[in-house]
Structure 1
Amino acid sequence: MRFKLIVALVENERTDALLDAARNAGATGSTLINNARGEGLQRARGIFGMEITTQRDMLLFLAEEHYSRAILEAIARVGEFDETPGTGIAFQLDVEDAVGVKHQVESLGLNPDAGD
């Protein structure tokens, strides 16, 4: 069984919508880390030149590889990452091995003991 780790860094107002989109695309769960901070090409400046940062959330999804692209595309679509600068970013990474996911794999109707 092969997995991908999908990481999404998003404005916290969009978190619930992205979680719903990921679940509808096949995600079986997620981990949410609050209060992440990031910068784009230029720092956002407000009144008196003070730096403005909005709260961001980091969403982590461990997804079976057959579902990972659909999940990533659903997140990108709902998050409007390519349409609106500064709304967030998402990417996926190969996972060499994972444990503790047997119940999620079974819920997808896959054989967790099967090889690649």
Structure 2
Amino acid sequence: MRFKLIVAMVEVELTDAILDAARQAGATGSTVINHARGEGLNKTHGIFGMEITAQRDMLLFLSEEHRSRHILEAISQMGEFDETPGTGIAFQLDVEDAVGVKNQIQSLTGQPDQL
């Protein structure tokens, strides 16, 4: 079985909605890293010229390859990444090898499988 790692950097307020959308699209779990920092093309300056950087959550999804694009699109749609600048980004990476995913493979296929 082949896997993809989906990484999403999202506004904290959108985390729960994006997790729900990903699960509805076929994600079987996720890891959330709180308080990541992101910067866009242009730095945002606030009062007295001090830089303002919004806190983000980093969401990680290990997904079976054939489900990954559907999950990525659901994340993007829920977060309005293409419509609203600065709401977040998401991308997927090939996973060469994975351990500790035996239960996930069994739940996806209904039987034990090899990676």
Question: Distance between the aligned counterparts of 1:9 and 1:41, measured in 2?
Answer: 15
- 2:94 aligns with 94
Counterpart secondary structure, 1:108: helix
Taking only the aligned residue pairs, the percentage that are identical comes to: 77
* Cα distance in 2 between the residues matched to 1:45 and 1:76: 27
8 Å Cα contact 2:35-2:57 kept in structure 1 = yes
What is the CA-CA distance between 1:27 and the residue it aligns to? Answer: 0.4
| Counterpart Cα distance in 2 of 1:74 and 1:36 | 22
1:38 aligns to 2:50 (yes or no): no
Q: How far, CA to CA, are the matches of 1:34 and 1:64 in structure 2?
A: 24
**Cα offset, 1:111, TM superposition:** 4.6
Q: Structure 2: which 5+ runs fail to align?
A: none
Compute the RMSD of aligned alpha carbons. Answer: 1.2
Counterpart CA distance in 1 for 2:67 and 2:99 is: 18
Structure 1 segment 9-48 matched on structure 2, within 5 A: 9-48=9-48
The residue aligned with 1:4 is 4
Alignment match, 1:106: 106
Aligned: 1:56 with 2:56: yes
Q: Which SS does the other structure have where 2:18 is aligned?
A: helix
Scaled by the length of structure 2, the TM-score of the pair is 0.94
Count the aligned residue pairs. Answer: 115
What does the per-residue CA deviation read over 1:65-113, in whole Å, with 9 as the maximum and x for residues that have no partner?
A: 0100000000000010000000000000000011111111222235542
Partners of 2:52 and 2:112 in 1: how far apart? 46
After TM superposition, the runs of 4+ consecutive aligned structure 1 residues lying more than 4 A away are: none
Counterpart of 2:83 in structure 1 is 83
Matched residues in 1 for 2:85 and 2:51: separation? 17
TM-score by length of 1: 0.94
Structure 2 distance, partners of 1:100, 1:42, is 40
